[in-house]
Chain A
Amino acid sequence: QSALTQPPSASGSPGQSVTISCTGTSSDVGGYNYVSWYQQHPGKAPKVMIYGVSKRPSGVPDRFSGSKSGNTASLTVSGLQAEDEGDYYCSSYAGSNNVVFGGGTKLTVL
């Protein structure tokens, strides 16, 4: 499976909103509602921010939201805060008992 496509970088000022895209195919993102988003800070394990396309685990601020249209999933971070800076990865079930990740997006809070 090919990795899902994410922009290498994204940025925004505190208080602004930023959206990160995750583009796959009808065999992964477009075919299943099993898309997750992860936040990773340097030297740390990833933390799930969104699962099932748009669901938030307990404890994740409602500033984080997810959506999907066709073969593209999106993560929106509203009201950007300094602690939101980090790397963000999407993942999707890809059929045949496989999971594929995106290449990652470095989010910078200006």
Chain B
Amino acid sequence: GAGVSQSPSNKVTEKGKDVELRCDPISGHTALYWYRQSLGQGLEFLIYFQGNSAPDKSGLPSDRFSAERTGESVSTLTIQRTQQEDSAVYLCASRSSGGAQYFGPGTRLLVL
């Protein structure tokens, strides 16, 4: 079946602009995660959605970052007033109950 998809695959923006990143999880997966990966680094947890529960936002680096998820489907990660240090690969993953997380291809964000 289809895996996790993300769009856009690449995004170049100017400092101070807002960006919106999209994630389509694997159908039926109840949990959805956003991570950030800087060049040559591991993955940094940002936010977690599970069903109708309140999201775990403990990894969001600042109030410029927010995310939403509609039911158990699409999620969007929004970064307001982007800064150059926001440049990274933003990865989305989804998980079925008790299973491993499966990742999308990521969105490469470059803030000029």
Partners in one complex: no
Identify the B interface with A (CB < 8 A): none
